[in-house]
Amino acid sequence: MSALDYKSAAIVAVVYVCSLLVFYAVYLELFTRKRVLKSLPSAGFGKGFFNWSRASVRQVLVAPETVEQGYKQVGIFYKSKHSYMVPHSSFRPHVMLPQQHIRWLSRQPESILNPEVVRSERQGINFFPIKSHPKTVLMAAHKVITEAINQKLDVVQLQMYDGIRQAVDTGLGTDTEGVWKEVPLVDTLSTVLDSAVSRAFFGANLSRDGSFLHILRLFIVGGGVLTELIGQLPVGFLRLLVAVPFNLFTRATKEICAAYYLRPEVYKRIAQIDSSSDSVGEGYDFITECIISIRKLKFSLGTDEVTFVTDLLMFLALAGVVSTRTTTVNTFMDILGPQGTRQGTYLTLRQEAESILKSETDWASADALKAMVNIDSCMRESARKNPLQTRGLMRQVMPKDGVTLPDGAHVPQGTWLGIPVEAIHRDENIYPDAREFDALRFARMRVEGQYNKSLDASEPSDTYMFFSYGRSACPGRWFATRVMKLLIAYVTVHYDMKPLPEDAERYSVGDTKFHHSTVKMALRRRKLD
């Protein structure tokens, strides 16, 4: 082929790619324009050429600010109960409902407002590498969490404590010579949580297997991108372009975990159950409980039992580790940050833990954990201040003739509705000094008998939606908060920590927020009697 032919081919390729990009940009502009409801107040769209698309692109970096801007423009919802519309980085605009409509939203049947449709797209469930239908896995996960974890938390707590003690001692060190050392806060706590959660899910052997934990962390990275970021990318070509390689990466790491580590364990448990072995009843084993719960399901698994169990275990590990890891990091950032330091939070939490956890048996006591109201308050306050998502309780309108909202606004079929979670958590009318970290805010409410029926960190309300709300509330929240409470208590009792010099910066990618991973914490092991 001559040089002229190569040049012509290159020109044709460039023109072809540019044409595709232009058509894709026009498609996204029309996709967004079609879904914007002119009858509702809006925020963040702006004016001018391709304003709908430009507004959507901006949400990659400014989504929280846009949602809060709309919240303020429409008026604090205790005074102005009206919905409003905001752009989203997916190019699918969202309708945000006022705080007063949360209960109405949560009570609507799926035939009217469907969360599953939104979850599949927004959380990248359709790209997650599982062999059964995603809805089947989600229903099974809910049943397993309820039966195998929530109903047996008091039994599981001893394993939680054992896993946390082992993980913290390994990750933070046991040298009591009084030497301070610096470690990366995010990476260290993430590693500790990975091992601790794995102890409860996979047993002592796998939770201490470095090779398994390494592959599991790679799987969690890939799965985290699929579930947290893919749904925030523009619909169509770009989303597929990013999702496919991460799907392949996540699939590969999942298959390695399953083939070399989990499937042998599952086969062993199934053999024990089928042979009615007495060893099945010796202590708590999550994999065994998982198999027993799955065998009670009334619907088809869509694949063989071993594959379904291993897929489910990996899915639960991802869900359990990602949210618990992020929440724990946020909490320690707040405790050690300037606001937490001025309040003497670390010492307050240590004193509470030492006064309650006086022996090894106390660490396995559910009553002991319930008594630690200051630690619980600190966790709830950090969760209030740092919600995992800017907006929540997302639903899609299903009826062909649309839905009329409580404020009288009519929204057509296909519209996505939700709640501005972070804006509500920062509402000064609900929480005085809402932007400040007040570690004992909820502990004082218990004493003063204020409006919340339950102030536990695991209990959602229409003003505290860290774990969502109503039927959509996270079923694993009791497990997550118990792990966190044990971890905070163990660390504060056994380690001194220096305050962080400044508040750690958080940055947003769409609706999801992250901490910079370069923050370091200085610590030393205490000498205890």
Handedness of CA 219, 221, 222, 225 (dihedral sign): positive
DSSP state of 495: E
From the list 109, 201, 155, 59, the residue with the least C-alpha distance to 366 is: 155
Handedness of CA 129, 133, 135, 139 (dihedral sign): negative
- CA-CA-CA-CA dihedral for 379, 382, 386, 391, to nearest 10: 60
3-state secondary structure of 175: coil
Query: Distances from the Cα of 35 to the Cαs of 52, 82, 95, 249, 424, in angstroms?
Result: 10, 19, 10, 34, 25
CB neighbours of residue 41 within 10 Å: 17
CB neighbours of residue 260 within 10 Å: 12
The structure tokens 């971890």 sit at: 487
The structure tokens 């599982």 sit at: 130
Amino acid at residue number 239: R
Find all residues with CB under 8 Å of 519, minimum gap 6, and list them: 184, 185, 186, 333, 500, 504
Question: Is 107 in contact with 393 (CB distance < 8 Å)?
Answer: no
Structure tokens at 88: 């989203």
Q: What is the CA 357 to chain-centroid distance, rounded?
A: 29
SS3 content of the chain, % helix, strand, coil (to 5): 60, 10, 30
β partners of residue 61: none
Interatomic CA distance for residues 466 and 380, integer angstroms: 9
Find all residues with CB under 8 Å of 307, minimum gap 6, and list them: 131, 258
Find all residues with CB under 8 Å of 302, minimum gap 6, and list them: 131, 132, 133, 136, 308
The structure tokens 């799965």 sit at: 223
Query: Distances from the Cα of 463 to the Cαs of 422, 456, 469, in angstroms?
Result: 10, 13, 10
Interatomic CA distance for residues 480 and 66, integer angstroms: 30
Burial class (CB in 10 A: 0-12, 13-18, 19+), 463: middle
3-state secondary structure of 436: coil
Is 257 one of the annotated binding-site residues? no
DSSP state of 528: -
Interatomic CA distance for residues 221 and 50, integer angstroms: 35
Interatomic CA distance for residues 129 and 243, integer angstroms: 11
Binding-site members for heme are 474
Binding-site members are 474
